[in-house]
Amino acid sequence: MSVQIVPMRKIVNCIVPATLVFLLTMGSATAAELSKEFQSDILKLLKMTGAEAIGLQMGVAVSNQAIDNLAKEETDIPPKAVDIIKEEINKIYAEEMPSLMAQIVPVYAKHFTPEEVKGLIAFYATPLGQKSIKEMPTLLNECMQVGRAWGEGLTPKVLPRLEERLKQEGLDK
């Protein structure tokens, strides 16, 4: 059984941009405008806090959920193809994550001074800082589950309201 390229392109064309928008909400500063020491400290902070791993975890979760949702609509795509798509997209995200971290440096620079970044590095070197780093992936995962359930719980409120509003606007066809 061959997989049609059109549905797979649809998956890739929908998933990759959506996930990248989720990951890459960027500020206006560029790394070139920052001192090397400040860039280095921010990268140290990102590495120290596991930001790369958390970013990858979040990107993979968003991507995989979107792929699963789209695969439900495109029922002619075999489950093995869906697994391969997820696997390859996830590999690419992992390969490209250092580039994302470099692009995030200006975002941190926009919100923190060099002294504050040094303070954060000092904090994350403490036992409490280390605990927060260790717990953050689990915490984020659990928060995502809570958020997902919350969003799903809104569906019974959202759908009738949208239907009514679209009907009022003459767009219920």
pLDDT of 171 reads 87
State the pLDDT confidence band at 1, using cuts at 50, 70 and 90: very low
The whole-number pLDDT of residue 32 equals: 59
pLDDT tens column, 118-143: 999 999 999 999 999 999 888 988 99
Confidence at residue 3, expressed as pLDDT on a 0 to 100 scale: 47
pLDDT tens-digit series, residues 41-90: 999 999 999 888 888 888 888 888 888 888 888 888 888 988 998 999 88
- Of 129, 138, 18, 2, give the one whose Cα is nearest residue 70: 18
Determine the pLDDT at residue 73: 86
**62, 22 in Cβ contact below 8 A?**
yes
Distances (CA, A) of 97 to 30, 100, 104, 124, 137: 18, 5, 10, 22, 16
Residue 23 has pLDDT above 60, yes or no: no
User: pLDDT value at position 27?
Assistant: 42
Q: Residues 31, 63, 129, CA angle at the centre, nearest 5°?
A: 55
Q: Are 23 and 100 in contact (CB under 8 A)?
A: yes
Please provide the DSSP assignment of 129-157 as one string.
HHHHHHHHHHHHHHHHHHHHHHHHHHHHH
How confident is the model at residue 26, as a pLDDT? 40
pTM above 0.75, yes or no: no
Q: Is the pLDDT reported for residue 16 higher than 80?
A: no
- Separation of alpha carbons 64 and 3, rounded Å: 19
Q: Write the CA distances from 85 to 1, 5, 58, 144, 151, integer angstroms.
A: 16, 12, 17, 23, 26
DSSP letter string, 19-45: HHHHH----S--GGGS-HHHHHHHHHH
